[in-house]
Amino acid sequence: LLSVTILFSLLVHFTCPGKIRCQSSSKCIKTTERCDGVFDCPEGEDEFRCVRLSGRNSVLQVFTSGSWRTVCSDEWRAMFGNLTCKQLGFSSYVNSIDLPVESVEDQFRRHFVSVTPSPKSSGQMTLLQQLINPRQHCTSGNVTTLKCVVCGLRPSYTPTSRIVGGNASVEGQWPWQASLTFQGVHLCGGSIITPRWIVTAAHCVYDLLSPEFWSVRMGMVNQPLDSEGILIPVEKIIYHNKYKSSTMANDIALMKLAKPFTFNGSVQPICLPNYGEDFPEGKICWISGWGATVEGGDTSLTMDYAGVPLISNRVCNRKYVYGGIIKPSMLCAGFLEGGVDTCQGDSGGPLACEGKLWKLMGTTSWGLGCAMKYKPGVYTRITSFLDWIHMQME
């Protein structure tokens, strides 16, 4: 009975009823202390994940007083854009654009904040949430959108007419595609999102965490690796701490390169999607990689690609498909009749969808067989892990 009482007391203590527990300690803080501009947790994690870009237009939002609020363009300055991009983990800032409130999605037309310059904002301020004031409406009638990196473009590609049923790629067609090599051998794919960060799958790196054995090759289409491709060593590997190989839950990882690289026509980042951004069921998105072209075969010498339609989780969880094992943080794409799919060696590579810009909507995770009937490819849903990605980059 005593042990049960002690256990219950510990559970109550660590769950912080009505409060938030710091990840770095057992300290409990008030919910209103999250993103209030003051570091209350020992490692300051209560001030992480406090800004985000939302919706189709990259509307800037700040978390304050327990909810997300849209940032008005009133008194907005470029220096605030630099500050915000750094909070999101980017080393660059491109621009901020004002949009009329009525031109953005309904959920961003209420609960506003303005950013007020202060004497300290010339250099001492490090967090956007230290400069905000709640507003009922935007005086200017405009909200702020933000762009931290030029991404989702294919500047050197002119369209011509593990991918099973795919086509051979040409240089510059998928400039964000990376080859992750372990001791010089292609093992998985990855997606370039900044000059130093690559998104891939946790199952690619889970048992191979020593960065000195890894390198990343970009800007090439053929294997063995083209001499003109860019090869950069890896400095750090981070996989999601809740990744489970038994269920493939949270199958996402990041690689930080030992040095940044310069983008060119053949090497470009793909855009991360924004919060709440999605593409409709049936939308044709694109997979690419050097994976096997038949199940159980060798990896391809040429980067292949194919178009696959997005499948809703409702359909993907039907009994004759995956029978309920697809989690909300997973995304299905492919043809239920089979014929086109990612395969061995494509793991970690991109599921790219084209809107105004190309967006990384998924990372190749798993499937049953390759291109089998009623067994479409399953991808890690990137929008479910934006917080995690930005927190690691931050």
For 230, residues 6+ apart whose C-beta sits below 8 A from its C-beta are: 217, 218, 219, 261, 267
CB-based contact 314:331 (threshold 8 Å) = no
**Cα separations in angstroms, 36 against 17, 39, 121, 163, 293:** 20, 8, 16, 47, 52
Closest CA to 72 of 126, 144, 5: 144
What are phi and psi for residue 357, nearest 5 degrees?
A: -130, 165
CA–CA dist 267, 28 (Å, integer): 45
Report the amino acid identity of residue 213.
F
Domain co-membership, 139 together with 179: no
Domain co-membership, 376 together with 302: yes
Domain co-membership, 143 together with 165: no
**Cα separations in angstroms, 39 against 29, 33, 126, 213:** 11, 9, 12, 37
Domain co-membership, 286 together with 308: yes
Look up the domain containing 71 and give its range: 25-147
Q: Which residues are catalytic?
A: 203, 251, 347
* Angle (CA) 342 348 349, round 5°: 60
Domain co-membership, 197 together with 214: yes
How would DSSP label each residue in 92-125? ---EEEEEEGGGS-GGGSSSEEEE---GGGGTT-
* Angle (CA) 20 25 30, round 5°: 25
Closest CA to 361 of 380, 344, 388, 346: 380
Number of domains composing the chain: 2
pLDDT digits (tens, 9 = 90+) for 180-196: 999 988 999 999 999 99
CATH code, domain with 343:
2.40.10.10
Domain co-membership, 120 together with 137: yes
Domain co-membership, 294 together with 382: yes
Domain co-membership, 272 together with 377: yes
CATH code, domain with 52:
3.10.250.10
CA–CA dist 279, 26 (Å, integer): 40
Give residue for tokens 């009823």. Answer: 17
Domain co-membership, 183 together with 299: yes
SS3 253: strand
Alpha-helix runs per DSSP H in 237-345: 313-316
Domain co-membership, 254 together with 178: yes
pLDDT tens digit at each of 394 positions of the chain: 544 343 334 444 457 887 888 887 888 988 877 888 888 898 888 888 999 999 999 999 999 988 999 999 999 999 999 999 999 999 999 999 999 999 999 999 989 999 988 755 455 557 999 999 999 999 999 999 999 999 999 998 877 644 455 588 888 999 999 999 999 889 999 999 999 999 999 999 999 999 999 999 999 888 765 556 789 999 999 999 999 999 999 999 999 999 999 999 999 999 999 999 999 999 999 999 987 666 666 667 789 999 999 999 999 999 999 999 999 999 999 999 887 766 665 899 999 999 999 999 999 999 887 778 999 999 999 999 999 999 999 8
Q: Is residue 20 part of a domain?
A: no
The distance from CA 355 to its chain's CA centroid, rounded to whole angstroms, is 16
Structure tokens that stand for 282 in this block: 């049936």
Q: Is residue 1 part of a domain?
A: no
Single pTM value for the model: 0.89
Domain co-membership, 69 together with 160: no
Q: Which of 147, 164, 185 is the last residue of a domain?
A: 147
Q: Which of 147, 163, 186 is the last residue of a domain?
A: 147
Q: Is residue 18 part of a domain?
A: no
Q: Is residue 374 part of a domain?
A: yes
If residue 47 lies in a helix (H) or strand (E), which one and from where to where?
A: none
Strand pairing of 67-71 and 112-115? parallel
CA contacts within 13 A on the Cβ side of 228: 10
For 321, residues 6+ apart whose C-beta sits below 8 A from its C-beta are: 315, 332, 336, 374, 375, 376
pLDDT digits (tens, 9 = 90+) for 18-62: 788 888 788 898 887 788 888 889 888 888 899 999 999 999 999
CA–CA dist 169, 182 (Å, integer): 23
Domain co-membership, 358 together with 253: yes
Q: Which of 103, 131, 147 is the last residue of a domain?
A: 147
> Residue 44: which region, alpha, beta or left (left: phi > 0; alpha: psi -120 to 50)?
left
